[in-house]
Structure 1
């Protein structure tokens, strides 16, 4: 049995893509637009010892598996074609015995994964308990402290690593990111002289936007590289009077009485079990009558397991957890005196955002590879293109939830209807 035929055994023999392997074997239609090329023996070991998306990711990131017909900075189209085929079925004992005889037992021995891979969950206890301060800091460091220059190449001028909001289908990424900050600012009903706390502020995009409108904005991030970049941008843009970004755990913020709090892309790192404390922190830090905006990736239901799959957990967001928007809303409501006012889904906008990030990576591919290495650049191309498919197919969503800390008697000074432009 040849390697390409072994692949057919694992994923089915009705392939719409072409499979080629280093032993000269082939499978699938010869005229297929996209395909997989297994280049090395090491790639076989990765695929055999971790069947499914983790093994495929290891082989791809290490360069042992090639996507034919796609740029590594944006393999979206190839992944779309492959997604219909790569449905790993559980081989029968007889089939596994045939596979083992064909490729040799040496391929079933574990080998070190690519250096980009994080430790499995069970080995992270040296960094602390799940979602402890120490372990959260390490998880953020793993993902966000890659290279500020690399992020500039991928994210563009806004240095914003969260879903944009496109005012129209033809808007540029920069226009959409500026529109996202405008929308959040307006939803929070911020006025000149107000005080904003932005939790998990990244490179300070929301902080700087609010400061330009005359709002005193404090941002906190667990990434030292983000904080350094953000503070430099604040100083260069003459915003120091209104803006500050701290390298800090949000739980260490001592100030209170903020007029509004924004959390843009942090909830995914918090852990569902910690939502009551997380939203309770916001409640305690915002003034009575103030507003809270939570922007986060969610699942399309509230029943699915919250923990990420092996590829996302080991290569993208260690310890990340997602749940449905209903769970987020209920946890906000369960925290005393938080009243949910509005929520909306930006799923399609995130697919468009990822499309534009992939396009930036392709346009800056050579510099990106020089900055972080080909393996890491390939990983980012794969992960962003795969996530784009996830948003398009409603495997994941992106929700805004707007809430207020009510007056003790339940009254509010807010307008009767939404006061912001969509």
Structure 2
């Protein structure tokens, strides 16, 4: 039993909780620095040539679950440990402190009052009348009073004792919400071209909603750099075939859409297709693919210039506005085309670019723990506000020794701003 009590005391120790908070903060920073929930080959591509912090290559990052920090077993274990520490601290310290504050303490002799932090003695011809005046003054100022014939006890600000309990409870609720979201949440990023739709499945694989993209635009600065992305969305019931319209909205960066527990973020953009005319052919809409080896945000397509598939050329571009660069197999630039411009002959084949269709990168997140996280924040904030309230206790004893002048002995305690309380007490007695 003693060993168990020592273990409970160690777990609920304030220093251990502070260390846990620091470790959780550091690991949260690691989760911010390392991309999360990406394919395994991305971590090998990023960290095999240059290990993270010079220590961890791709295998090390994956082995330590740093690719999904917030849902890893060790991170959830840290949260559970901190929650247990807060619960034990509340049970061993904050709850007994609240119970003690709710109990009335009856001091019956002036000597007991003289040992308190703040003590004053008022000489008066009628100590009981002064005691009655003090009781009325305290009641007008919102104090709770327990009255006896020759003495009284008063207290004010008991809600301040509830504050630490609410802070601990809020943090535990917040961590429960975070853990639930990490384990039960869903996250997916999809690129959607205008005019296309995407079915949103539930956990059983049945279609619940359909997301349709009507229009996607990229706002650029004078230098051509993207500043904002905007998507016009429709959410339809079921698989979208004849389903009724449930929601129509616009999303952009930092302005997501929340609907039925799903949050849609405007996360990225890409180039989806290019419309070409080769010679006298009809207009061809061909898909573009990313070429990271050529640079960041470079898309392109390889096209043959002969009927037998020989003499291919590479069409590459970094913006829906163009230009479209055409390179031969030897890497030499052959031509530059502008979307909507005139055709240019490349290796005897006239090529014209009609248009380039951008795609909206939409991040879909379903986090069932969000209500608990918000509730935890609200509870913790309320507790923090209540903790600022000072809990004050005051006692007064009327003493009338035989043949001597009467005295009113007043003393008190305060858990916050004791200096202010010590200055306030003489001012209160001066009103008697």
Higher relative contact order (CA 8 A, sep 6+): 2
Look at both structures and tell me which one has the larger radius of gyration over its CA atoms: 2
Q: Which has the higher strand share?
A: 2
Same structural fold, with TM-score higher than 0.5 when normalized by the shorter chain: no
After TM superposition, the score normalised by the length of structure 1 is: 0.20
